Amino acid sequence: MQGLRSSLGSDPSGNVYVPRRKAGEDAYRLTASVRCDWTRFLQLVERALPLGPSGLPDLEKALTLVRGKPFGGRPLPWARPYQQEMITLIVDVAHTVATYRIPAGPHHDLNAARRAVSTGLDVDDTAELLYRDWMRLEAARGNRSGLHTAITRVQQVNRDLVCSLEIETTQLIDELLNGSGTVRKAL
């Protein structure tokens, strides 16, 4: 604990981030001023989600706090339930941003949608929901090559997982390649 106390140091007021215990049975703790990105992520998301599209700036700000898969690729056993909870919420937020940003209208911003989808897929590269967002994004851009890349990628992921594509994904692929949602020619 002394090493941890020494390496974390003190806040600007000189208070150590790992205070000494007052009694031997007291738990070790960090001071209340120590925060983590996940706490801030949750605050932003909880404030933004009820606002619908008006909450997009906070949802996008929350996604900027995400730097890859929570706890990395091999979390300790105690972290696994937290990791899954975090992944699920990050994917949901990324999908929500993409849902508002891809369609034409007042919130249309394909670059913001791309950042959201990319962040979500960095966290969970098996999230088929985000691959559908990616396909819609490429279709909205008129990028047939990008659409094929997204389709190929989700198909490969599912082959590796030895599972079929979800019905919604199969229908979207058919719609975008052959139906009313055909990819517009890129300008």
Give yes or no: residues 136 and 61 share one domain: no
- pLDDT tens-place values along the chain, 187 residues long: 777 777 778 888 888 888 888 888 888 888 877 778 999 999 999 999 999 999 999 999 999 999 999 988 787 888 899 999 999 999 999 999 999 999 999 999 999 999 999 999 999 999 999 999 999 999 999 999 999 999 999 999 999 999 999 999 999 999 999 976 545 544 3
Query: What pLDDT is stored for residue 78 in this prediction?
Result: 86
> Which of 132, 133, 127 is closest to 98 using CA atoms?
133
Looking at the structure, tell me whether residues 142 and 171 fall in a common domain: yes
pLDDT score at 57: 98
pTM of the shown model:
0.82
Please give the Cα distance from 93 to 117 (Å, whole number). 9
Domain count across the chain: 3
Please give the residue range of the domain that contains residue 65: 37-124
For residues 183 and 137, state if they share a domain: yes
Locus of tokens 């990105």? 37
Give the pLDDT score at 187: 33
Evaluate whether 186 touches 148 at the Cβ level (below 8 Å).
no
42 and 120 in a single domain? The answer is yes
Length of the chain: 187
∠ Cα 26 43 104 (to 5°): 160
Do 41 and 119 belong together in one domain?
A: yes
CB 80 within 8 A of CB 87: no
- What's the pLDDT at 186? 42
> Does one domain contain both 162 and 176?
yes
Nearby residues of 60 by Cβ (< 8 Å), 6 or more positions away: 97, 112, 115, 116
Together in a domain, 172 and 93: no
- Same domain flag for 41 and 120: yes
pLDDT at residue 181 in the model: 54
Are residues 98 and 162 located together in one domain of the fold?
no
Q: Which among 90, 109, 124 is the end of a domain?
A: 124
